[in-house]
Amino acid sequence: MKQQAPLTITGGRLVLPDGVTSGALRLVDGRIEALGDVSPQDGDEVVDAAGQLVAPGLVDLGVFAVDKPAFHFGGITRAALMPDKSPILDLPSRVQYVAYSGKPDFWVHPLAAATRGLEGRELAELALMQQAGARGVATGRGWIADSGVMLRLLQYAAMLGLVVVSHAEDAGITGNAVASAGEMATRLGLPSAPAEAEALAVARDIALAEMSGARLHFRQVTTRAAVDLVRAAKARGANVTAGVTPAHFMLSDLATAEFRTFARLSPPLRCEDDRQAVVAAIGDGTIDVIASGHDPRGPEDKRLPFADAEPGMAGAETLLAMVLTLVRDGVISMERAFDLTARTPAQLLGVAAGELAEGYEADIALIDPEKPWIVDSRKMEASAGNTPFDRQPTQGRVTALFKGGVKVG
Amino acid sequence: MTSSGTPSAAGRFPAGRRAFPHRDLVGIAQLERHEILYLLEEAEQWVSLNRQSAKHTDNLAGLTIINAFFENSTRTLLSFEIAGKRLGADVVNMHAAQSSVKKGETLIDTAMTLNAMHADAIVIRHGSSGAVELIASKVDCPVLNAGDGQHEHPTQALLDALALRHALRERGQNADDFTGLTVTICGDILHSRVARSNVLCLQALGASVRLCAPPALMPQGIDAMGVEVFHDFDAALSGTDVAMMLRLQNERMQGQFIPSAREYHHLYGLTAKRLAARAPDALVMHPGPMNRGVEIDSDVADMLDRSIITRQVEMGVAIRMACLDVLTRKARGVAGWADGEWV
């Protein structure tokens, strides 16, 4: 649905890249026409934000399902979909279908499978998938073990100008592990692997990215050693960015106690020291993106013994609230919260969104950042309630959402 | 070491608490020291009974016990079956191939099915850590863990403690617990639920525990459990009071952990020579099944004066009888075990 009449949002606190300021926003034909000191014109529809935050709709980089009710609840207007679908997004036709699957009120940006069948052996038809709507390339839930394949992938993606989203865990070390090696996994008797598997993969991928000149994005960097590598690479000027999901800055492997399968994630939860390193890396800018990793899983995947359960969490609804905890804790500023969840992911995907700026898509979220609520796995908008934050009191809710200037829901 | 002539369990647990306030036995981690001691005391009567020619009681007459084994087992299954039958219960064995219960909701559905058949106790072995707790959360009767993945095998640790206590008494050491004792557990610690349960149980009873394995078979972070970690078997064995040998769990290994069985024997095999040099008086234990010539030599395994391997098997039946008896007391309405009653 196209925006019919111009819309002016007044009385809000605009979250701009350089700070939060009072102002208004005028949306015309699905785009931001003007912002700041603007007044509604005759015939405009007017929404009074009443002092709430007026922020860009979130751009969720790396989700595993298109789950509109959950995304809308969480203020997410665009998501980059991982290729680990059934069938795998390794053909242009599949990419094209997915690219249109959310419209009009939600935009899906498919990430093309880097290799056929995500098997890590033969490159998929990346250029054709780009033409079909792919906004990046991803290795899926797994790592490409063959360094030769990874190098050729990065070179090819660099030529096409596509970001490569990598899953950084050395598969030879992780094997069948479902937990990070350490006291918790040992007490629970869970198959585990050293967390250093991540740093090994990150080191190799950075080296290959620097050789190829590709834009490399680690979907999740979750250990102290790996964030150190990313920090050093950035200092050298490497074209590398890193992401993380709230689980890895909110929780440590203690959350897997009593074999809680909602805390079975990939990569697995790490030790407390790694969690603190991730928080610090968000604070100092080493981590660029926070995404939900939204992966709703029903009881058939989760009500199983820990090692038999599927990894993943339903994260779309809690993404914003968890990021706002970092603002309240003084780790990041309010504007940076939206750099992490909207502006930077939009830039990586090459879409004119994720930012309040003239000419950008009118994807707008009105947010009450203090509104208290309690996460309840039984009452989620998502298609499954597998959240590791169940029953956690939190703050911050989206009160209204606009996609292309049109109110959602 | 304190000694007590006539064991009196009732005198040793805190006042105002039930002697054993658990519905299930899922792990040693959930047990307090006095609860472990209580189970050991309870088992003594069954040790005596089992040595008579008529080994039958009707304590559990009319009760149905289901042994649900999702993983292959011979000795543990047999031991639980005999324990249930000697207590007079109707014992049913359910062998479920691991492959058929790995997918979807089947494991929980199986648990619900057993529950609907009004089992009075369910004994479970499963290949996944935590599976027994998952089932226990879905059924209405006591659940006993007969081994879950690499997590726990509590009755094994209890029977080991009972066998060790008997052996120490025969040597004139009449302590209730193992204060001052050093126990060395050597073998595939990484994949061993027996090791985990034994570390917890032996430590609760006051023993110092040494673990010995090559690095690849030693779980990371195990030192946080208060054990001493060794890779050199001779060093681990020096001055130890008990050598508990574990087999290599080849069926759980993905990839190669050690170069060969003979190389393993060279480094970690318990030989008579090694034992004489490092721990000439140590007792020798093994939870079985043994791989003779790999982790333990035949002449050591069969030493009459110090190998208590067959006694471990004997104590297994008594411990399992004690656990089944204690856990079904509430359902049987035994005085002092109903809701609101205190022993």
Instruction: Write out the two tokens for A109.
Output: 């940006």
Q: How many residues does chain A have?
A: 409
What are the pLDDT digits (tens) for B28-48? 999 999 999 999 999 999 999
When pLDDT is averaged across residues B89-94 and rounded to a whole number, the result is 95
Report the residue from B131, B193, B196 with minimal CB separation from A305.
B131
Under an 8 A CB cutoff, do A258 and B128 touch? no
Q: Is the pLDDT of residue A352 over 70?
A: yes
Pairwise CA distance, residues B213 & B267, whole Å: 9
Spell out which residues of chain A touch residue B224, defining contact as CB-CB under 8 Å.
183, 186
By percentage, how much of chain A surpasses pLDDT 90?
98
What are the pLDDT digits (tens) for A228-256? 999 999 999 999 999 999 999 999 999 99
Q: Where are the domains of chain A?
A: 57-355+370-394
Under an 8 A CB cutoff, do A192 and B219 touch? yes
Spell out which residues of chain B touch residue A304, defining contact as CB-CB under 8 Å.
107, 128, 134
What are the pLDDT digits (tens) for B48-91? 999 999 999 999 999 999 999 998 888 999 999 999 999 999 99
Under an 8 A CB cutoff, do A192 and B150 touch? no
Give pLDDT, residue B336: 83
Confidence band for B100, pLDDT divided at 50, 70 and 90: low
What are the pLDDT digits (tens) for B254-310? 778 888 899 999 999 999 999 999 999 999 999 999 999 999 999 999 999 999 999
Pairwise CA distance, residues B283 & B305, whole Å: 8
B52 φψ region: left (φ > 0), alpha (ψ -120 to 50), beta (else) = beta
Pairwise CA distance, residues A33 & A23, whole Å: 14
Residue B53, min C-alpha distance to chain A (Å): 41
By percentage, how much of chain B surpasses pLDDT 90?
78
Confidence band for B15, pLDDT divided at 50, 70 and 90: low
Give pLDDT, residue B95: 82
CATH topology of domain B155-313: Rossmann fold (3.40.50)
Q: Where are the domains of chain B?
A: 21-153+315-332, 155-313
Half-sphere exposure of A12 (CA within 13 A, CB side): 31
Report the residue from B102, B130, B221 with minimal CB separation from A306.
B130
Q: Is the pLDDT of residue A364 over 60?
A: yes
Give pLDDT, residue B6: 47
- State whether the Cα torsion B276-B278-B281-B287 is positive or negative: negative
What are the pLDDT digits (tens) for A42-76? 999 999 999 999 999 999 999 999 999 999 999 99
Q: Is the pLDDT of residue A175 over 60?
A: yes
Pairwise CA distance, residues A191 & A165, whole Å: 27
Under an 8 A CB cutoff, do B149 and A175 touch? no
When pLDDT is averaged across residues A323-345 and rounded to a whole number, the result is 98
Q: Is the pLDDT of residue B342 over 60?
A: no
Q: Is the pLDDT of residue B9 over 70?
A: no
For residue A86, give every residue at least 6 positions away whose Cβ sits within 8 Å of its Cβ, in sequence order, or none: none
Report the residue from B107, B196, B221 with minimal CB separation from A189.
B196
Under an 8 A CB cutoff, do B105 and A189 touch? no
Give pLDDT, residue B17: 66
Confidence band for B18, pLDDT divided at 50, 70 and 90: confident
CATH superfamily of B21-153+315-332: Aspartate/ornithine carbamoyltransferase (3.40.50.1370)
Give pLDDT, residue B13: 55
Q: Which residue from B minimizes the CA distance to A306?
A: B130
Same-fold call for B21-153+315-332 versus B155-313: yes
Report the residue from A175, A187, A307 with minimal CB separation from B254.
A175
A75 φψ region: left (φ > 0), alpha (ψ -120 to 50), beta (else) = left
Spell out which residues of chain A touch residue B254, defining contact as CB-CB under 8 Å.
175-176
Under an 8 A CB cutoff, do B130 and A185 touch? no
Q: Is the pLDDT of residue B5 over 60?
A: no
Q: Is the pLDDT of residue A201 over 60?
A: yes
Selection from B249, B185, B243 nearest residue B213 by Cα:
B185
Give pLDDT, residue B3: 42
In one-letter notation, the amino acid at residue B41 is E
Pairwise CA distance, residues B63 & A164, whole Å: 62
What are the pLDDT digits (tens) for A63-111? 999 999 999 999 999 999 999 988 999 999 999 999 999 989 999 999 9
- State whether the Cα torsion A264-A268-A269-A275 is positive or negative: negative
Q: Which residue from A minimizes the CA distance to B220?
A: A182
Q: Is the pLDDT of residue B343 over 70?
A: no
Tell me the pLDDT of chain A averaged across its residues: 97
Q: Is the pLDDT of residue B253 over 90?
A: no
Q: Is the pLDDT of residue B102 over 60?
A: no
On whether the CB atoms of residues A147 and A208 are closer than 8 A, the answer is: yes
Under an 8 A CB cutoff, do B255 and A299 touch? no
Element (H, E) at B267: helix B261-268
Give pLDDT, residue B340: 67
End-to-end CA distance of chain A: 12
Under an 8 A CB cutoff, do B129 and A190 touch? yes
Give pLDDT, residue A149: 98
Under an 8 A CB cutoff, do B220 and A308 touch? no
Residue A4, min C-alpha distance to chain B (Å): 48
Per CB distance under 8 Å, which residues of B are interface residues toward A? Answer: 29, 102, 104-105, 107-108, 126, 128-131, 133-134, 148-152, 193, 196, 219-222, 224-225, 254-255
Tell me the pLDDT of chain B averaged across its residues: 91
Neighbours of B27 (CB within 10 A): 25
B234 φ/ψ angles, rounded to the nearest 5 degrees: -60, -40
Report the residue from A181, A299, A306 with minimal CB separation from B220.
A181
Confidence band for B12, pLDDT divided at 50, 70 and 90: low
Spell out which residues of chain B touch residue A186, defining contact as CB-CB under 8 Å.
196, 219-222, 224-225
Report the residue from A181, A189, A194 with minimal CB separation from B193.
A189
Under an 8 A CB cutoff, do B219 and A306 touch? no
CATH 3.20.20.140 fits A57-355+370-394, yes or no: yes
Pairwise CA distance, residues A75 & A72, whole Å: 5
Q: Which residue from A minimizes the CA distance to B255?
A: A175
Q: Which residue from A minimizes the CA distance to B128?
A: A305
Q: How far is CA A57 from the centre of its chain?
A: 13
In one-letter notation, the amino acid at residue A75 is G
For an interface test with B, which of A170, A178, A188, A192 has the most B Cβ atoms less than 10 Å from its Cβ? A188
Neighbours of B81 (CB within 10 A): 18
Per CB distance under 8 Å, which residues of A are interface residues toward B? Answer: 175-176, 181-192, 194, 258-259, 299-300, 303-308
When pLDDT is averaged across residues B309-335 and rounded to a whole number, the result is 96
Which carries the bigger pLDDT value, residue B343 or residue A25? A25
When pLDDT is averaged across residues A304-322 and rounded to a whole number, the result is 96
Spell out which residues of chain B touch residue A297, defining contact as CB-CB under 8 Å.
none
Give pLDDT, residue B105: 52
């298109």: which residue's tokens?
A66
Interface A:B, Cβ pairs < 8 A? 81
Residue B299, min C-alpha distance to chain A (Å): 33
Which carries the bigger pLDDT value, residue B15 or residue A369? A369
CA angle (A17, A23, A29) in 5-degree steps: 80
Spell out which residues of chain A touch residue B128, defining contact as CB-CB under 8 Å.
304-308
Question: Beta A240-244 vs A289-290: how paired, if at all?
Answer: parallel
Q: Which residue from A minimizes the CA distance to B149?
A: A189
Report the residue from A186, A189, A304 with minimal CB separation from B107.
A304
Report the residue from A182, A187, A308 with minimal CB separation from B128.
A308
Per DSSP, the three-state class of B79 is helix
Q: Is the pLDDT of residue B8 over 60?
A: no
Pairwise CA distance, residues A224 & A244, whole Å: 13
Strands (E), chain B: 64-69, 90-95, 121-126, 143-148, 182-186, 208-212, 228-230, 242-245, 283-285
Under an 8 A CB cutoff, do B134 and A175 touch? no
Instruction: Write out the two tokens for B122.
Output: 């369910």
Under an 8 A CB cutoff, do A188 and B151 touch? yes
Neighbours of B99 (CB within 10 A): 8
For residue B124, give every residue at least 6 positions away whose Cβ sits within 8 Å of its Cβ, in sequence order, or none: B68, B69, B70, B131, B132, B135, B143, B144, B145, B146, B148
Q: Is the pLDDT of residue B99 over 70?
A: no
On whether the CB atoms of residues A357 and A271 are closer than 8 A, the answer is: no
Under an 8 A CB cutoff, do B150 and A191 touch? yes
Instruction: Write out the two tokens for B92.
Output: 């049913």
On whether the CB atoms of residues B135 and A304 are closer than 8 A, the answer is: no
Task: Please give the ipTM for the structure prediction.
Answer: 0.89
Q: Which residue from A minimizes the CA distance to B191?
A: A189
Under an 8 A CB cutoff, do A183 and B224 touch? yes
Q: Is the pLDDT of residue B1 over 50?
A: no
Q: Is the pLDDT of residue B333 over 70?
A: yes
Ordered DSSP codes for A226-287: HHHHHHHHHHTT--EEEEE-HHHHH--GGGGGGG-GGG--SSPP--HHHHHHHHHHHHHTS-
Residue B156, min C-alpha distance to chain A (Å): 16
Instruction: Give me the residues paired with residue B95 across strands.
Output: B69
Residue A88, min C-alpha distance to chain B (Å): 22
